[in-house]
Amino acid sequence: MSYAITPPRLPSLPIVGSEQRFPVRRIFCIGRNYAEHAREMGATVDKDTPLFFCKPADAVVTDGADVPYPQATHDLHHEIEMVVALGAGGRDIPVDQAASLIWGYGVGLDLTRRDLQAVAKAKAHPWDVAKAFDHSAPVSALRPAADASLDADTTLTLSINGELRQQGRLGDMVHGVAEIIAILSTLFELKAGDLIFTGTPAGVSALHRGDRFHAELAGVATLDGRVA
């Protein structure tokens, strides 16, 4: 078998303490998963109907590469999020078995063209153009779950040019990680290689050309980069 065109390169993430890489199959994201962030967006948390969207796998920006300022926006926003990487998948996974699918953890930015999102919301259009654009998912190196200690008090912090912009604790998520995996698996068959962006705490704001970001999931992962 040969391909008619050169096949696209498989996106992948570095792994802390390893030469191996983690291949990315899909990127799932949950929205409005911290009440304070939902409030700052003028929205409310609807616990019974979680909001999911996807980014293409090749939207990942890895290894500290620059993030090009995207086209078609004047209001690029940062959203720091814990990223969960799956090492196994399935459908209709019970909450109490969901953690066994987790391969590792990282930290990422769910970059958002906020102006296009506002238009989409106003017109009841889907969010793809606001969320799923090229280079919209910078992600850190992943830390294997066995080496990651996380609890409700683990913090996410994002600084831009050395100034603290976002801070949150994992315990403030509306839907915890196991719950997110369980619910997603009722909607999609999950597979090894999937990434899940788990929502952002309050404090989202604009990024500009030249800004340097430093994102941390305390004790687990750090992401440094620059908007070019």
Q: How far is the CB of 30 from Mn ion (least distance, A)?
A: 8
Q: Quick one: which of 79, 83, 113, 198 contacts Mn ion (CB under 5 A)?
A: 79
Q: Quick one: which of 11, 77, 85, 110 contacts Mn ion (CB under 5 A)?
A: 110
Per the listing, tokens 């070019």 go with 228
For 79, other C-beta atoms within 10 Å of its C-beta total 24
Q: Where are the alpha helices (DSSP H) in the chain?
A: 35-40, 95-98, 114-123, 128-131, 177-184
Count how many Cα atoms sit within 13 Å of the Cα of residue 149 in the half-sphere of its side chain.
Answer: 1
Residues 198-217 that bind Mn ion (CB under 5 A): 200
Residues contacting Mn ion: total by CB under 5 A: 3
Which value, to the nearest 10 degrees, does the dihedral of the CA atoms of residues 117, 187, 36, 61 take?
-60
Q: How far is the CB of 204 from Mn ion (least distance, A)?
A: 8
**Closest Cα to residue 73, out of 209, 210, 226, 224?**
209
**Residue 194 sits in the site that holds Mn ion (CB under 5 A):** no
Name which of 82 and 220 has its Cβ closer to Mn ion: 82
Name which of 112 and 185 has its Cβ closer to Mn ion: 112
Q: How far is the CB of 200 from Mn ion (least distance, A)?
A: 5
User: Which residues are registered as beta bridge partners of 61?
Assistant: 138
Q: Binding string, 173-192, against Mn ion, x = CB under 5 A?
A: --------------------
Name which of 37 and 143 has its Cβ closer to Mn ion: 37
Name which of 110 and 194 has its Cβ closer to Mn ion: 110
Taking CB atoms, the residue at the shortest distance from Mn ion is 110
Q: How far is the CB of 186 from Mn ion (least distance, A)?
A: 21
Q: How far is the CB of 37 from Mn ion (least distance, A)?
A: 8
Residues 23-42 that bind Mn ion (CB under 5 A): none
Q: What is the DSSP string of 31-97?
A: ES-BHHHHHHTT----TTS-EEEEE-GGGEE-TT--BPPPTT-S-EE--EEEEEEESS-BSS--HHH
Token representation of residue 186: 């009722």
User: Distance between CA atoms of 39 and 52, rounded to whole angstroms?
Assistant: 18
Q: How far is the CB of 94 from Mn ion (least distance, A)?
A: 26
Name which of 62 and 166 has its Cβ closer to Mn ion: 166
The residues of the shown chain that bind Mn ion, judged by CB under 5 A, are 79, 110, 200
